[in-house]
Amino acid sequence: MAVPTVQRRTATPASKLSLLLQQLNSSLGRPVIAVVLALLVGGIIIMVTTAGSILDRISATLAAYQYLFLGSFGNMQSISYTLVVATALIFTGLAVSTAYRAGLFNIGAAGQLTVGAITAGTIGLRFTEWPGWLLIPTMIIASALAGALYGGIVGFLKAWRGAHEVVTCIMLNWIAFYVADALVDGPFKAPNLSQQTLPLPPQATLPSVSNFYNQTLGTFLPQIPTPTVYTVDVSIFLALLALVIYWFITARTTFGYELRVIGQNVRAARYAGIPVKLNIIYAMALAGAFAGLAGSLRLMGQAPNQLIATSFALDSTGFDAIGVALLGRTTAPGVLISALLFGGLTQAGPNMQLFAHIPADLIYIMQALVLFSITIEFMPLIQRSGWFSRSRKEPLVPNIIGKTAPETIDDPAISIAEIGINGLNDGPGGDKPAATPSRQEE
C-alpha cells in the first residue's frame, strides 16, 4: 500500500489578514468597533446640523467631544457623578447578562429594580427605630430577595408554560410601576407632600465614599476637602463585589456552565441531563436579585433618599442595562467598562449641551448607534464577504489506478482562521462550538 504524501502550504498574506480579523472579532474587538463607529457617526451628525463653514463644523464637533469627556471623566467631581450612574448600571447590566447566558432576554430589569427599591423603602420607613447595623443589611437582603422573587416569576412562567420572557417582563414592569405609585401616593405618602414619601432615617442611608474615607482612613491620612461635592456612595464597592460574584458563578461553577449550555442548545442540555426548567428559574431569580439591589442601594445612597411616584416609569436605568450587557458581551469586565461608558455619556450630556451648544439628545443617538453596531455585527459580515479570505483549494482527484491521493495539510494558523475558533463566545450563552472544517478524503 502506497504511503500518502503530505504537502504543506504556507500562510498567504490574505489568510494572515483573515486570521487578524478573527482576532478582532473577539469579546473586545466588537465593542471597540461599535463605540468608534458611534463616535464617528455622532461627529457626522454634529457637522451636518451645525451652521457655518467646514472649519466651524469640525471645530464644533471637537468641542462637543471635548466637553463630553470633561463632563464624564475630566475631574474627580465628574468621575464621582459618572460612578453614581454606573453603579446602578452595573447591577442592572448583570441582571440582563445573567439571563442572557441562559438564552433569555431579561427586559424586566426596570420592574425588578422598582420592586427592590419599594421593598427597601418600606422597611426603612417602617422600622425607623432599628439601629443602622441591623436596618441596612435587612434592607439590602430583603430587596435582593424581592427582586429574585419578581424575576423568578418570569422564569417560572417560561419553564412551566413556555411563556415568552419578553412579554411577561413588560407586563410585570408596568405592574411594579403602578404598585409603586399606589404605595407612594397611599400608605407611605409624606404628610403635606405630593407623590413622595418621607426621606429614609439617617441610619438607613449609605455614606458617600468621601465621607466614609474622612471618617476612617482620613483620621490619620490627609482628608478630602469639601467631601459633599463627591456624590458617589459606598455602594460602588458592592457593585464591584457583585461583578466578582457574577464572574465566579459564570466561570467557576457548575451552575454557570449549565447556563451556557442551555443558552447555546437547549436540546443538548436536556440530553446531557441538565435540569433546564429549574436552571431557567434560577437564572431569572439571580437576575432579579441583581436588579433589586440596584433599586435599594440607589435609594439608600443617593439624595433625597426617598421614594417618588412616577419616577420609576421614567427611569431608563433598567433599559440602558440592555445596552450595557450587550456591549460588555455579558462578561464581568465588559459590563464594568460598558457601565462606565454609558454612565459617562449620561452624565456628560447636559455639560455638552451647556458649553458646546449641542443637543443632549445626541447622547441617546450615540447609545442607539452602539447597540445598532453590536446587533448587526460588522466583523462577521466582513469575514463572510470573502474580501480577505484566501482562494479555495482545488478539489483533490482520487487516483483510480490504486494509488492513494496526496493529502494536503494546511498551516495551523490557516485552519484556525477557517474554523473560527475565536468565535466561541458568539452565542447567547457565551460559548459556541466551532464549526467542523470541511475536508475531502479519498
As a whole number of angstroms, the distance between CA 262 and CA 268 comes to: 8
Considering the domain architecture, whether residues 313 and 386 belong to the same structural domain is answered as: no
Provide mean pLDDT across the span 267-286.
95
Long-range contacts of 437-441 (CB under 8 A, 24+ apart): 440/395, 440/396, 441/407
Tens of pLDDT, residue by residue over 427-439, are 444 444 444 444 4
Do residue 99 and residue 217 come from a single domain?
yes
Q: Residues 325, 297: one domain? A: yes
For position 16, what pLDDT does the model report?
59
Query: For 190-234, where are the alpha helices, taking DSSP H only?
Result: 209-215
> Range with the lowest mean pLDDT among 91-105, 251-265, 335-349, 398-412?
398-412
Clarify whether residues 32 and 74 are in a common domain. no
Question: How does DSSP classify residue 131?
Answer: -
- Residue of 156 and 19 predicted with greater confidence: 156
Whether 370 is covered by a domain: the verdict is no
Q: Which of 173, 169, 175 is nearest to 106 (CA)?
A: 169
User: Which among 243, 336, 263 has a CA at the least distance from the CA of 100?
Assistant: 263
Count the Cβ atoms, other than its own, within 10 Å of residue 147. Answer: 34
The cell for 442 is 479519498
Flag the least confident range among 6-10, 123-127, 239-243, 304-308: 6-10
Q: Residue 15 carries which side chain, given as an amino acid letter? A: S
Query: Which of 265, 207, 426, 236 is closest to 330 using CA atoms?
Result: 426
Calculate mean pLDDT across residues 276-304. 96
Residue 386: what pLDDT? 52
**Residue 348 domain flag:** yes
Residue 363: inside a domain: no
Residue given cell 416569576 in the structure block: 153
Any domain includes 369: no
Give CA–CA dist 405/354, Å, rounded: 74
Q: Per residue in 328-377, pLDDT tens?
A: 989 999 999 999 999 998 888 888 888 888 887 888 888 888 877 776 65
**Residue 22 has what pLDDT?**
56
pTM of the model: 0.80
**Distance of alpha carbon 200 from alpha carbon 126, whole angstroms:** 10
Q: Are residues 405 and 291 in the same domain?
A: no
In what helix (H) or strand (E) does residue 260 lie, and over which residues does it extend? Answer: helix 254-264
Q: 255-272 pLDDT, tens per residue?
A: 999 999 999 999 999 999
**Grid cell at residue 361:** 439628545
Range of the domain at 93: 61-223+232-358
Residue from 140, 136, 152, 100 nearest 329 by CA: 100
Q: How many other C-beta atoms are found inside a 10 Å radius of the C-beta of residue 56?
A: 12
Question: pLDDT tens, 186-196?
Answer: 899 998 888 89
Give 149-177 pLDDT, tens digit per residue.
999 999 999 999 999 999 999 999 999 99
Cα of first residue to Cα of last residue in the chain, in angstroms, is 14
Say whether both 140 and 277 belong to one domain.
Answer: yes
Do residues 214 and 320 lie in contact, with contact meaning Cβ atoms separated by under 8 Å?
Answer: no
371 lies in some domain: no
Instruction: Return d(Cα 204, Cα 120) in angstroms, integer.
Output: 9
Q: What are phi and psi of 202, to 5 degrees?
A: -55, -35
Which cell numbers hold the place of 274? 441538565
User: Which of 104-108, 325-329, 365-369 shows the lowest mean pLDDT across its residues?
Assistant: 365-369
Same domain membership, residue 205 and residue 98: yes
Strands 407-409 and 6-8: parallel
Question: Which residue do the cell numbers 443617593 mark?
Answer: 302
Which H or E element spans position 136?
Answer: helix 132-161
Residue 399 has pLDDT above 90, yes or no: no
- Asked whether the beta carbons of 71 and 348 are under 8 A apart, the reply is yes
Residue 139 has pLDDT above 90, yes or no: yes
- Say yes or no to pLDDT of 20 above 70: no
User: Quick one: three-class SS letters along 281-326?
Assistant: HHHHHHHHHHHHHHHHHHHHHCCCCCCECCHHHHCCHHHHHHHHHH
CA dist 430 and 432 (Å) reads 7
Same domain, 385 and 263: no
Do 83 and 196 lie in one domain? The reply is yes
Share of the chain above pLDDT 70, in %: 78
Residue 19's pLDDT band (cuts 50, 70, 90):
low
216 shares its domain with 117: yes
Domain contains 367: no
- 7 in the Ramachandran plot: left (φ > 0), alpha (ψ -120 to 50) or beta? beta
How far apart CA 369 and CA 377 sit, in angstroms, is: 12
User: How many whole angstroms separate alpha carbon 271 and alpha carbon 290?
Assistant: 30
Residues 6+ apart with CB under 8 A from 267: none
CATH of the domain at 333: 1.10.3470
> In this structure, are 260 and 391 located in the same domain?
no
Q: What is the DSSP string of 34-74?
A: HHHHHHHHHHHHHHHHS-S-HHHHHHHHHHHHHHHHHHHHS
Span 198-249, pLDDT tens digits: 999 999 999 999 999 999 998 999 999 989 899 999 999 999 999 999 999 9
Please report whether residue 366 resides in a domain: no
Indicate if 309 and 389 belong to the same structural domain: no
Place of cell 454606573: 86
Mean pLDDT of the chain: 82
